[in-house]
Each structure stands twice: as C-alpha cells, then as structure tokens.
Structure 1
C-alpha cells in the first residue's frame, strides 16, 4: 500500500502544474477516491488539497526568485488568474508577497516532496472485528459543526448540552442493535478533513425503528464495519484511535474505507478525564 501511495505522489509531482486528477491518483494507489483522500490526510497530517497548494507555491517561490519569468507568467502557470490572487496565496505560505520576495531575496518557506515509509513503532497490536450489518437508521438530533482534530469540540459540547434529558431518554429507548445506547456520529464531511471543515454530528442511536417526527433520521445502507476499542484519556484516546486506524490498520489490512457515517460510542468516567470507546468505521474488502 505505501509503495502504491508513493507512486501516486510521484505522478502528482510530475503533473503538479495541472489540475489534480484524484481519480487517477486513486487508480495508481489501487484504491477508491474516498479512501485515497482519507488515507492521505491521516498519513500526511494535512488534506491533499493543502499539500498540493503548498507544493505548487514552493516551486512558484523558486521561480519568483529565479527572475526568468514575469510574476504574471508564474501566477498563470500555477493556476492563478491574476497577480492579486497569486500574491494573496503566496503571502499566506511564504509570509511575503512575490514582488517583495523578488526585490529583496527574502527567505521563503518550502514544502518538501512527501513520501511515505514504514516505521516500526513498538510491538503492540490493534484488536478489531468485522461486523456485517443490515440496513438501519440513525435516529436522534444532528447539528452542522466544524471539525476539531484535537481536544474538545466546543460546538459539539454546546449542542449536546442543549438536548434536554427527556429527549435523550426517548432517543435512547429506540436503540435495538449494536452499537447499543447513545452513539456519536460524524457524517457528510465536506472537503478533505481540514481543521474547521464542516460535518454533520449526530447524538443518537442505531435502530431498526421508524423515527418520531420531531427527531432527525438518517437511513444507512447494509455493509461491513470495522470495529475498534480503546481506553484512555478523554478525548485524546478517541481521536488517537481514529488516527491509528488510518495510519496503521488500513495500510496493513485488505480493507478500505467506504462512504458512510463514522460511529463512536464513548463511556466517560465520572470526573471526565478517562473514557472507554468503541469506533465503527464503514469498510469494504479490497
């Protein structure tokens, strides 16, 4: 898997001044576009779109300093329709505008070419199980919130606190299958999982029952789910489990992620510092 990912990155580098063809990158990596984006983001620590932007502006920076092309020619080559748009993007990465950089020989920032390699980290294993589930519904309350990679998500905390106990009790009573009880669900994530990207957050249950009219409902198709468990500091243990699934488990197993909601069930200690968690990721065998 890592070798195929590196082949995809080599292809990207050879066509860096052209529109990104994610379908072709995924084909080279022998995976779906959905999984390619997810895996790249987890391994690289940034979305594919952000990496491409940084690499383009790194090469553009070298061309600005070389002085062989006009600033407009450099801008157009790297996909910017005007000097103004190029200058804004250039300054966001390098801290100075292209004109200033050319005049003063300013120090610029570089995004190195990325490649992935296997690093052996200890001898611990990841325990998982594959569950085949029939179609079901998510029923509960949902809200559109920004993605937060580490630490508590203030928008989610405020949303959950705003659900009254009577409603939570009615939702929980609808639970009739695994994972049982109240679950936390992320779905319909826009873009490449960058910090601040919006997603649908659900506070609800997995059920075969119809939803009451005053509750939100999402039909989920039948399919396979990879289920993982962890215990540790809250909320870091849950966030690190998701990271480890994509950086360690997927590259080592014949599965890829498929579109669908990611479900977690978290039991937090009385003092709010520790948690036991179970993570359900929709997968398919490859």
Structure 2
C-alpha cells in the first residue's frame, strides 16, 4: 500500500471518528479488503486500526471531560460505549485515571494525536528476496479460522498454539507421510475468508493432491500467482514478523509491488538451509 493510501485511510477514520466504524469501513474507503488493509496497517503502524480508533476516541473524551462541558454518561455514549461502566474501564486503562477524576483540576491525562504518515530517510541494509511464479498448488491441510485481530494480539501466540495443538494431536506426521522422503516440507498457509471481512483461515499442511481419510483434514487449492520470497533467519518465529515488517516498510515502497488477496504461506523445509527458520512467500503484483 502506498503511503498516500494509508494516509487516506487515517483521514477517513478521523472524519468519522464518532461514528460506528472499524477497520472494515476504512478498508472500503481506500478500496481494499479488510484482510489486506488490516495487515498493512498493523505491520506499518504497529497497532491495529481498531486500536487507533479506540485510542483517538479516548484521547478526545479526556480533553472534553477536562474542559467540563460534558457528563460522564454523555461522553460514554458520544465516544461509542454502551454504558458508563464500560467507558470508565476503558478510560482508566488508557489514561490512568477515571472519567470523574478527569473532570477535576490537576488530573493526569494522555493525548493521542492523529497519525501523519511521513517519508523518512532510512535503509542502507540488505533485504534479500526473489520473485517466483507458481501455478495452482494443492495442499492437504488441517486449518482453523482466526479473527483478523489475531495478527497483532497481545501475546502473538494464537497461531503458534495452533501448531502446538496439531503436533500434540498427531495431525502433522500423517500429512508428512504423504510425501516422499527428503521432500516432507511443511507449509503454514494464510488466506482471507471470502464470506467475511473480519477473519482469515490458517492451515498447516503439505503440498499434495491426495485426500486424507480422517475428517480433520481439508484440501486447499491456490490460484496461479507471483510470489515475493524472503528467507526468515533466526532461531524462532520472531523472524517471520520481522520479515513482514520489512515487506511493508521496505520492499513494497522500493519495488512498486503490492500484496494481493491470494493466500501467503511460510515454507518449512525438511532439509533447510542452516540459520533459516523458514521462507515467507507473499503473493504480489506490480503496481
């Protein structure tokens, strides 16, 4: 996503900050799916768009309460809360003081200013990548539905926990047995739910067209696509988040590529390169 589109989305959220909006409406305002917009915004800004909206509302509510022109009840309703109790809880977590305390002189409050996207001088470091084309691929997977907010949840553990659960239940080895020795590579596949703007599928599987007998497994077929491929180097999954961060902040602005709504995946080689945790394959198009 170009910086101007991200700024347009922020401007939309600011113009409608008191309305019942979320990142879904912001995504539509700039012509993106909720899935893609949520990813771009989260990795670029470091918070979700919904967190941004909540922080801006609570900041504005604090200013208005300090000025004394509104009651706690009216502020709760104005800034999108169903009850004074839920508003007080969120307000206290954000500001460190209650709405009633905010109406008193000397109360400590926090400001959260509107975001402004700026071009900064950076770079100077190597980012290795390659572009590869793949025709349609078929996977045998075990998959689960996640909410988009999982991408930047508080602990970042939802998907790793899914991997651990599948391992404990013995669901991964039967899939690997479908592949010949030396080519039992595992894939972590992520794709949007076509019927929902707020969720995505994540599957663990192998590249194989055979169907498993057990009901735990599904076939997942991708369409032909070009992929930007990055080596995630490190001892654990932290390097995947770092690769995504560099994809949005360095690769896209410098190359003119953008991510498409096709599934992306992590590729875990059975016989991988030393020091490489996995490869990140992101479907892209030019312009």
In the superposition, the TM-score normalised over structure 2's length comes to: 0.78
CA contact (8 A) 1:227 1:278 kept: no
The aligned residue for residue 244 of structure 1 is 246
1:216-243 CA-partner distances (Å, limit 9, x unpaired): 1143341424231225222232221122
The aligned residue for residue 281 of structure 1 is 282
Unaligned stretches of 5+ residues in structure 1: 193-197
CA contact (8 A) 2:141 2:220 kept: no
The aligned residue for residue 176 of structure 2 is 172
Q: What is the 5 A alignment of 1:38-117?
A: 38-117=39-118
The number of residue pairs the alignment matches comes to: 274
Q: What's the RMSD between the two structures over aligned residues?
A: 3.5
Q: In structure 2, which of residues 160, 164, 170 is the aligned counterpart of residue 158 of structure 1?
A: 164
Q: Secondary structure at the match of 1:226?
A: strand
The aligned residue for residue 15 of structure 1 is 16
The aligned residue for residue 181 of structure 1 is 185
1:33-88 CA-partner distances (Å, limit 9, x unpaired): 43222111111111100110001100111001000122222222212233222212
2-structure distance, mates of 1:220, 1:51:
35
1-structure distance, mates of 2:197, 2:127:
31
1:117-144 CA-partner distances (Å, limit 9, x unpaired): 233221424413142422x433143457
Q: Secondary structure at the match of 1:103?
A: coil
| Shift in alpha-carbon separation, 1:160–1:85, aligned structure 2, 3 A | closer
Deviation, structure 1 residue 276: 4.1
CA contact (8 A) 1:31 1:256 kept: no
In the superposition, the TM-score normalised over structure 1's length comes to: 0.78
1:85-117 CA-partner distances (Å, limit 9, x unpaired): 221221121122101221253211222211222
CA contact (8 A) 2:130 2:228 kept: yes
| Shift in alpha-carbon separation, 1:132–1:265, aligned structure 2, 3 A | closer
CA contact (8 A) 2:96 2:108 kept: no
2-structure distance, mates of 1:76, 1:168:
49
2-structure distance, mates of 1:31, 1:199:
15
2-structure distance, mates of 1:180, 1:172:
5
| Shift in alpha-carbon separation, 1:23–1:213, aligned structure 2, 3 A | closer
2-structure distance, mates of 1:191, 1:109:
32
